[in-house]
Amino acid sequence: MLTTVYAILFYVATLTLVGGIAYRIWEYASVPNPLKIPTGPAPRTKAGAAFRVFREVAFFESLFKSNKWIWLFGVMFHAGLLLVLLRHMRYFTQPVWFWVDLIQPFGIYAGLVMVAGLAGLFVRRLAVPRIRYISNPSDYLMLALLILIGLSGLMMKFFAHTDIIAVKQFFLGLMYFDWHPLPSDLPLLLHLALVATLMIIFPFSKLLHALGVFFSPTRNQVDDSRKVRHISAWAAKLEK
Amino acid sequence: MSEEAKTPTVDEYLDPLATPCMQPGAMADIHTFPAAPEHQEKLGFPGELPENWEQVAVAKMGELLGKYRGFRVFLDSCVKCGACTDKCHYFMGTADPKNMPVARQDLLRSVYRRYYTFGGKYFPKLVGARDMTKDVLDEWYTYFHQCSQCRRCSVYCPYGIDTAEISMAAREIMDSVGVGQKYCNEILGKVYDIGNNLGLPPKALKMTLEDFEEDLEDETGLEIKMPLDVKGAEILLVTPSADFFAEPHIDGLFGYAKVFHAVGASWTLSSVASEAGNFGMFIGSYETMRNVSMRIRDAALELGVKRIIFGECGHAWRVAYSFLNTLAGPFDFLDPRYPFPQHICEYTWDLIQKGELKFDKSKNDEYRLTFHDSCNVARGASMGSKPGDQFEIPRNILKATCNHYFDMDEDTIKEVTVCCGGGGGILTDDLMDVRVKGASPRMTALGNLRKEKGVTHMAAICAICKSQFTKIMPKYDFEMDSILSVHQMVSNAIILEGAINEDDDDDDDIPGAPDVEAAE
Ligand code: HEM
Ligand code: HEM
Ligand code: SF4
Ligand code: SF4
Ligand code: SF4
């Protein structure tokens, strides 16, 4: 019964996440940029613009310019998240890729760092009046959700161990349509329910920033408007 | 010295970017004068609020979501990290939290969420979504006219979210339901009717230019021309109409004319394109911006020029550099050896580098100078051959023409320059409070420099900046003529062959005196 519920839940969540992201990519890609609006001074070459986006994604360059505390907590959270997710790959691959094995030891600290970063962001949101002013309930809930995912994960890691082999069999089973039972300890069920929630809301929430950063015209456009005429389809129609 | 209580008379270093304590509602009662129906209709907008305006506004938003990728991505992407909250000069100056960039965006984003997102449709409270109501519209009108579209916030946002784009969209939506701003829309009407922002007709322009030629002759003894509508000229100069009548703009125009004269360039102004500025950008309307831009294309074709050069104007340069090729191109009839369009500073600096202009820097010794980077040049456009040349070229010109040059605080210049407080359609008397307060970061930075280095003057390359500073500098204990044109410095220092020596007060006997006779 539990296994069935979670199996269905994860199918739905995966479909929503993948379908939702694909839809957003299509949506963003299909809306034109009628004008060149890179924030200056902007790179003059495609490679330069790509490198600019890369720096935003990898180092949060603009955020570093604006606020060192948000940057620090943000990097702790995101870098932690990245490592944690990569570490989690072992639940979905058989045999486990060798580099996933390599990062296993770091993964544990990553979980702690991630939660610490999230806590920092949460405290800032409450304690800095300007940020409290711009926050909606959803902004707190998003952080709370991630913190709970992290805490429930850490709990399994440090206190209430779960049967990782069985978890893995359950997920491999989902992938190959050969279901295996899911262990039924509470931290795991909580962890997974929250993760599924996160996956479902991803394409409908501000988590779209992960796509937005790649599509943002102020960051990804090349400053070549004097050299190349840039015209969008709807604007071209005005010339008729 | 000053009577203004809030004026900082700087005895010590003050933080130009100090973050104020929030005062909700501080600027809520400011409403710029609305456009009259006739001004709205001239631009193709409804004259007043239609019956079903809510639907019209929401539908217009939908249309823009499908036309501007930036608009859509920006509305979805903000994570409310708060990094931009202390970066807007209007927030720093007014302390009104709705002038924090993200809060300004949220005025519109809340409506977007309500009608165009799952969360906002079903859980409005949770995600801060609001219906499109008259109150919301009024709030838009207030706060989207307290944004100069300077893009400083976009530098600092981790996703480059540009509040200027949101402001433009908001103004376009408001125009679509008959709620326009008098200042911008009336001026655009003048451009449609007469060809420039001031409504200066060709005849009056001709006479003004003739007066200027006389002034220049009095000053230099040379016949320095200000040609108008000369067919077959090589260069078309498009400059803001303020250059024809306002100080210190005129002195900049004199500078351009002297540079052209010095190298014997064949140039002309145009009575059709007698305005570089393009307020179509401020109201976010592509069509309007395009219509206004077409005049330049028409003039260039009609006069058969080979190059187009723009005078000192910030937002005009953004439209020229970043948009003109798109809006009114292709300009394949121009000489491809020159950048199109070219900035007058690029032109002058190029000549300086080639050694074709000579200066007597001591002519500017009375000035201890700094430079205000106009945000539209700094963040909306560029110059020269590499990113950042828009900062170096004007500085290089100033350093070539003046002995005492100093920069302001580095987090208030170049890429992160703070706006003058008057850009983006704010330069109107009914928004004076916004203008004065919005200028405070810049004025504080300048005040520090006055204290530290004895700086007396600030040069700029934007017509709006210059007009704004002329007006608000006295409120901050500066002389109103502390603001200068960059080409004014060029004009003062340039050595023209055969010119009379104007330093007549003290040294009559220096070599070159015979020129006086020759000229007369
Ligand atoms: C391309 C990948 C991504 C990039 C470049 C990116 C970048 C950023 C940046 C720069 C911030 C603002 C600073 C901060 O508050 O941390 C941020 C915030 C945030 N990110 Fe990401 N992110 C990415 C992916 C993700 C993913 C996959 C998630 C979720 C699972 C996520 C969740 C969040 C959340 C919840 C916040 C808001 C934090 C707060 O409330 O202060 N991000 N992201
Ligand atoms: C279907 C997806 C997921 C599964 C099956 C899963 C499963 C698990 C399991 C079994 C553990 C315990 C590890 C151990 O005892 O060694 C764990 C730990 C953890 N999980 Fe997840 N998890 C998933 C998704 C996520 C997501 C999306 C996040 C973050 C947003 C996350 C964050 C954590 C953290 C921080 C830990 C503790 C540190 C660590 O062991 O890496 N998990 N997860
Ligand atoms: S910096 Fe960007 S993402 Fe952060 S609150 Fe401001 S607009 Fe939103
Ligand atoms: S564009 Fe400039 S004026 Fe507008 S919100 Fe951003 S910083 Fe403020
Ligand atoms: S008027 Fe000048 S400083 Fe102000 S927005 Fe325009 S360019 Fe920027």
| Structure tokens belonging to residue B207 | 């006479």
Q: Residue B356 corresponds to which tokens in the numbers above?
A: 């074709």
Looking at CATH, the fold of the domain delimited by B37-180 is given as Fumarate Reductase Iron-sulfur Protein; Chain B, domain 2 (1.10.1060)
pLDDT at residue A108, as a whole number: 79
**How far is B239 from A46, CA to CA, in rounded Å?**
32
Among candidates B156, B329, B382 on the partner chain, residue whose Cβ is nearest the Cβ of A66: B156
Residues of chain A found within 8 Å of residue B117, distances taken between Cβ atoms: 204
Number of separate domains in chain A: 1
DSSP class of B66 = H
* Residues B17-44 pLDDT 10s: 999 999 999 999 999 999 999 999 999 9
- Residue B206 burial (CB < 10 Å; 0-12/13-18/19+)? middle
Residue A235: inside a domain? no
Given this model, what pLDDT does residue B428 score? 96
Peptide bond into B202 cis (omega under 30): no
The verdict on residue A237 lying in a domain is no
The percentage of residues in chain A with a pLDDT greater than 70, rounded to a whole number, is 100
User: Is there a contact between B77 and A206 if contact means CB atoms under 8 Å apart?
Assistant: yes
Range of the domain at A31: 2-223
Q: How far is the CA of B385 from the centre of ligand 1 (A)?
A: 35
Ligand 4 atom closest to the CA of B101, numbered from 1? 5
Q: How far is CA B428 from the centre of its chain?
A: 14
Is residue B48 within 8 Å of residue A41, measured between CB atoms?
no
CA distance B462 to B422: 11
Atom of ligand 4 nearest to the CA of B152: 7
pLDDT at A63 over 60: yes
A35 closest CA partner among A158, A172, A217: A217
**Token pair listed for B262:** 């010095």
Answer left, alpha or beta for residue B230, where phi above 0 means left and psi between -120 and 50 means alpha: beta
Give the tens place of pLDDT for each residue, A175-209: 999 999 999 999 999 999 999 999 999 999 999 99
Which atom of ligand 2 lies closest to the CA of A154? 37
Query: Which one of B100, B162, B165 has the shortest CB-CB distance to A130?
Result: B100
Predicted local confidence at residue A107, as pLDDT? 78
In a domain, A137, yes or no: yes
Residue B495: count of CB within 10 angstroms of its CB: 13
Q: Higher-confidence residue: A103 or A206?
A: A206
Token output for B202? 């060709």
Match 């926050």 to its residue by tokens. Answer: A135
Q: Which residue of B has its CA nearest to A68?
A: B83
- With beta carbons under 8 A apart, name residues in chain B contacting A33: 68-70
Of A27, A44, A219, the CB nearest to B160: A219
DSSP SS3 for A59: helix
pLDDT of B11 reads 63
Give the three-state DSSP class for B200. Answer: coil
Does residue B97 or residue A107 have the better pLDDT? Answer: B97
Contact status, residue B346 vs residue B385, Cβ threshold 8 Å = no
Dump strand ranges (E) for B240-303: 267-268
Angstrom distance (rounded) from CA B146 to CA B424: 9
Which pLDDT band, with edges at 50, 70 and 90, does A160 fall under?
Answer: confident
Q: How far is B118 from chain A (nearest CA, A)?
A: 7
Residue position matching structure tokens 């080409």 = B487
A211 Cβ contact list (under 8 Å, min separation 6):
A21, A24, A25, A28, B77
Best of B80, B281, B321, B376 to mutate (most A CBs within 10 Å, chain A): B80
Contacts of residue B260, Cβ cutoff 8 Å, sequence gap at least 6: B235, B237, B267
A152 lines ligand 2 (CB under 6 A): no
Number of H helices, E strands in chain B: 24, 7
Torsion sign over Cα A149, A154, A159, A162: positive
Which ligand is closest in space to the CA of residue A207? Answer: 1
pLDDT for the residue B193: 86
Residue A12 domain-assigned (yes or no): yes
Give the whole-angstrom CA distance, residue B222 versus residue B230: 20
Rounded Cα distance between A67 and B87, Å, is 10
Residues of B in contact with A73 (CB under 8 A): none
Give the pLDDT confidence score for residue A215 in this predicted structure: 98
Q: Report the distance separating Cα B508 and Cα B502, nearest Å.
A: 9
pLDDT at B518: 36
Q: Is B436 in the pocket of ligand 3 (CB under 6 A)?
A: no
Task: Tell whether omega for the bond before A95 is within 30 degrees of 0, i.e. cis.
Answer: yes
The Å distance, Cα B164 to ligand 4 centre, comes to 6
Nearest Cα to Cα of residue A212 among A16, A15, A71, A21: A21
Q: Which atom of ligand 1 is nearest to the CA of A56?
A: 5
Å from CA of B301 to ligand 4 middle? 37
Task: Provide mean pLDDT across the span A23-47.
Answer: 97
Q: Kindly report the CA angle at A11 between A5 and A14, in degrees rounded to 5?
A: 135
C-alpha to C-alpha distance for B416 and B97, rounded to whole angstroms: 21
The single-letter code of the amino acid at B261 is H
pLDDT reported for residue B508: 44
pLDDT given at position B516:
38
Is the CB of residue B155 less than 8 Å from the CB of residue A43?
Answer: no
For residue B504, what is the DSSP state?
T
In a domain, A175, yes or no: yes
Q: In what helix (H) or strand (E) does residue B254 lie, and over which residues does it extend? A: helix B249-262
pLDDT value of residue B378: 97
Domain residue spans in chain B?
A: 37-180, 190-500
Torsion sign over Cα B422, B183, B324, B264: negative
CATH code, A86? 1.20.950.20
Q: Are B245 and B309 in contact (CB under 8 A)?
A: no
User: Ligand nearest A206 Cα, by number?
Assistant: 1
Report CA torsion sign: B341, B345, B349, B352.
positive
Residues of chain B with pLDDT under 70: 1-11, 501-520
Nearest residue to B290 via CA among B317, B321, B329: B329
Higher-pLDDT residue of B336, A108: B336
| pLDDT value of residue B509 | 45
User: Hey, how many other C-beta atoms are within 10 angstroms of the C-beta on B74?
Assistant: 29
Q: How far away is chain A from the Cα of B336, in angstroms, using its nearest Cα?
A: 10
